[in-house]
């Protein structure tokens, strides 16, 4: 079988190609450092690096501008001080005592020691009464005669007719000792949980003051409500004779149909206002 004809190859082409491969004029690909150098040159030509640095400086300046240093503010001190409060007014008596007039101060001191303020006027000089007694006040202001002066103590014993009818002792000491005696702090008051009214009922012979404070005389009706004028008159007469202000049970034994706590209330709300 005949051979397949082949296309002849030009020997000059092959020689040229092989000679170019070994020639020093063959263009090699750029190295890594060469590429960096070229890129930097292009960036400088386009002024990209300068623009980036300018932007960086601008950003730093803007951030520093936003930082505000805060310092403690100091309020200016006021040169003018607040006015001092006015001095407290002194009483007329102290004003005279501190007066330079020694004679006038001595006069007031003497009146204070003796209680004779009627000889002094409002300025302490002596032109009319500055203080009124209780009797003068009632006569001039209330147009009535003052009631009896009380020192807060009742000095009597149970009403004599009740002492006789009930067979009571003639004095508080005798009644207490005759019916057991003992310490009043322990045996003169109701114990814990004990009914006070029932306890008072048992004390009629030993401590009548305790009994009449809550109870009327045995068999006597109890009255409530407002006091009649005759009751008030009797109250005043008993107070004049024996005093009043404590031991209201004993006091009430002189006021029929009334107990001790009623007399105490009447004294505060009826007798004193009148």
pLDDT digits (tens, 9 = 90+) for 5-20: 555 545 454 444 444 4
Nearest CA to 149 among 135, 130, 132? 135
Tell me, yes or no, whether 184 and 266 share the same domain. yes
220 assigned to some structural domain: yes
Contact (CB, 8 A) for 206 and 175: yes
Q: Which range has the worst mean pLDDT, 19-23, 34-38, 163-167, 225-229? A: 19-23
At residue 266, the pLDDT reads 93
Domain that includes residue 129, residue range: 92-142
152 assigned to some structural domain: no
12 assigned to some structural domain: no
Tell me, yes or no, whether 138 and 214 share the same domain. no
Q: Which range has the worst mean pLDDT, 11-20, 48-57, 216-225? A: 11-20
Tell me, yes or no, whether 164 and 252 share the same domain. yes
Q: Please check the confidence at residue 93 and state whether its pLDDT lies above 90.
A: no
Which range of 144-153, 250-259, 262-271 scores highest in mean pLDDT? It is 250-259
Q: What is the mean pLDDT of residues 169-182?
A: 92
DSSP H helices, the chain, are: 11-22, 32-46, 48-66, 92-97, 102-114, 134-137, 160-166, 172-178, 184-187, 196-202, 208-214, 229-242, 248-252, 260-266
Contact (CB, 8 A) for 210 and 203: yes
At residue 74, the pLDDT reads 60
Q: What is the mean pLDDT of residues 79-98?
A: 61
At residue 37, the pLDDT reads 83
Higher pLDDT, 63 or 164: 164
Q: What is the pLDDT of residues 121-168, one digit of tens each?
A: 444 444 444 566 766 766 776 666 666 667 789 999 999 999 999 999
Tell me, yes or no, whether 266 and 195 share the same domain. yes
d(CA 247, CA 267): 13
d(CA 111, CA 245): 32
Q: Please check the confidence at residue 257 and state whether its pLDDT lies above 80.
A: yes
pLDDT confidence tier of residue 108, bands split at 50, 70 and 90: low
Higher pLDDT, 29 or 260: 260
**What torsion, rounded to 10 degrees, do the Cα atoms 241, 242, 245, 248 define?**
-120
Higher pLDDT, 95 or 193: 193
What are 145-148's contacts with CB under 8 Å, separation 24+?
147/236, 147/239, 147/271, 147/274, 148/236, 148/239, 148/240
Last residue of a domain, one of 80, 110, 142: 142
Angle separating helix axes 48-66 and 32-46, nearest 10 degrees = 70
Contact (CB, 8 A) for 236 and 146: no
Domain count, the chain: 2
Contact (CB, 8 A) for 268 and 177: no
At residue 161, the pLDDT reads 96
Q: Please check the confidence at residue 106 and state whether its pLDDT lies above 70.
A: no
The region, left, alpha or beta by phi > 0 then psi within -120 to 50, assigned to residue 257 is left
78 assigned to some structural domain: no
245 assigned to some structural domain: yes
Q: What is the mean pLDDT of residues 235-244?
A: 93
d(CA 103, CA 105): 5
Last residue of a domain, one of 108, 142, 176: 142
Helix/strand/coil (H, E, C) string of 221-235?
Answer: CCCCCCCCHHHHHHH
At residue 151, the pLDDT reads 79
């Amino acid at each position: 079988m005949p051979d397949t004809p082949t296309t002849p190859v030009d020997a000059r082409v092959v020689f040229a190609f092989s000679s170019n491969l070994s020639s020093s004029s063959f263009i090699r690909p750029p190295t890594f450092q060469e590429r960096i150098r070229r890129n930097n040159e292009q960036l400088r030509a386009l002024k990209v690096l300068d623009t980036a640095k300018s932007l960086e400086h601008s950003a730093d300046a803007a951030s520093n501008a936003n930082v505000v240093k805060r310092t403690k503010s100091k309020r200016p001190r006021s040169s003018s001080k607040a006015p001092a409060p006015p001095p407290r007014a002194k009483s007329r008596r102290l004003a005279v005592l501190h007066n330079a007039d020694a004679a006038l101060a001595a006069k007031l001191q003497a009146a204070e020691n003796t209680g004779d303020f009627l000889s002094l006027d409002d300025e302490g000089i002596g032109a009319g009464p500055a203080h009124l007694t209780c009797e003068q006040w009632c006569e001039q202001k209330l147009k009535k005669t003052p009631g009896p002066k009380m020192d807060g103590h009742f000095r009597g014993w149970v009403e004599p007719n009740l002492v006789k009818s009930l067979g009571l002792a003639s004095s508080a000491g005798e009644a207490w000792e005759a019916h057991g005696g003992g310490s009043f702090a322990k045996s003169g008051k109701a114990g814990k949980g004990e009914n006070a009214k029932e306890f008072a009922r048992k004390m009629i012979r030993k401590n009548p003051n305790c009994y009449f404070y809550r109870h009327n005389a045995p068999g006597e009706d109890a009255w409530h409500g407002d006091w009649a004028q005759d009751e008030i008159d009797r109250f005043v007469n008993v107070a004049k004779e024996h005093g009043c202000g404590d031991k209201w049970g004993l006091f009430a034994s002189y006021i029929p149909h009334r107990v001790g706590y009623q007399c105490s209330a009447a004294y505060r709300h009826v007798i004193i206002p009148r």
